[in-house]
Structure 1
Amino acid sequence: MDGKAVKAILFDLDNTLIETSLAGVVGIQKSSELLKTTLGLDDNTISSICAKFKQKLLHEDFDPSDGGSIDDVRVRHWEESIKETVGDCSVPSLGAQCYYTWKNSRLEALRLSPEVCDLLKGLRGAYKLLLLTNGHSQTQREKVETVGCEEFFNAVVIGGDHAEQKPHLSIFTLCFNMLRVEARDCVMVGDSLDTDIQGGFNAGVRATVWINRAKAAVSDGSVKPDYTLTTVLDLPDILAQLQ
């Protein structure tokens, strides 16, 4: 470290500032209850449908230029998951019901905790803050609006609005230009080694901070973060070391 002061902090959103994974569990639980009530399915069959949906979500390839919305795509994920597991469904709208139950329940479960709000308020007085999140424009904007976090940041950048997302250098360069800072002035904070930490490394930021809630080991071949925390709330301790 060269001892130069940090001027800006780039934050990831999902599982860094908000617990998206836990909210996803809530969404799946609510959709499971709907499936059980509507079709009277057993728990194993319901689990199979939900597992298929999560796999389709994980490997999703959405291109808005093809027409339709991300909502349309995810309704089809549920429709296909149900059909692949139990065959043709007697309730034609069930896929849509499952999707909107999952989506709305997940959004309702998302929140910016009072502690994280206090952290961002405190940092905002000393640093420029930017939210940099990967994902589809609509889904990420819905999260940002739901948790009301935009007020804490100088700028919000959603990967789906741009040609390249994290870890590509271009989106980091965009962020630096928006904040009028150099890469060496910035710290990147996020939960993903592959996107947040690798992206920060590619961009040449001052330091990378990995939020590792699960205390997972860094696998061989992965980029090594400069710092590792189990909660973003401990970030001020790292920043004090960098000044």
Structure 2
Amino acid sequence: MRTPIILGNWKMHKTLGEAVEFIDELKTRELPESVEAGICAPFIHLSDLVSGSKETSFGIGAENGHYEDSGAFTGEVSIASLADLGVNYVIIGHSERRQYFAETDEAVNKKILKALEKDVVPVVCVGESLEEREDGSYESLIKSQIEKAFANVTEEEASRVVVAYEPIWAIGTGRSATSKDANDMCKFIRETLHSLYNESVAEAVRIQYGGSVKPENIKEYMAEKDIDGALVGGASLEVDHFVALLEGAKND
């Protein structure tokens, strides 16, 4: 059975002081052992959060990372540096990175390969726009995103990747895909992985849903067969809400 995984994506929220306060409060809570939990935070918070979360049951992730170990890339942070810091996860190819910062499928692939090399769990995001959903091109888009993301990724490595299906039209809009729609797409992603690798890999990869997930609807999503967790934005910014998400995701 795949271990459920809930990851918070703070995006460009919280000062360092607010981030540390969140982690300190989270450490006082009893978290469900059956759910893998992590907080993905801005670069400038990561050192304090990694050190503050040692010997806890939750991990710390970055929201992005560069595939080169070093170089003249002003403003970037290498995945190699994140690994050295002790970061557990790195979000790759989020729709906001693709939309606002022109991140390509090829760059996503390079970042995945580097994260795997450095033993950081890559959380690769795929998803369609409202226009692509309505014109029926979304399945071919998602298939292409998965195929390009996993290029040159071995079977053993593929099993370590987390995929986050995030329909762009549901991110931060308050509008979420139905649990059936979300599961249908997670199933489609799993079938695509099966065609790229085999049944063993496809069944091992954890696939999250992301898009206006909150404590009120997490159980509905987690009840679906092919949804293994959630990548959560706004609802991960408060400790009570984040803990409620973990509780809603646990195996009963």
**Bigger relative contact order, structure 1 or 2 (CA pairs below 8 A, ≥6 apart):** 1
> Is the TM value for this pair above 0.5?
no
Give the alignment's TM-score, normalised by structure 1: 0.33
Give the alignment's TM-score, normalised by structure 2: 0.32
Larger radius of gyration: 1
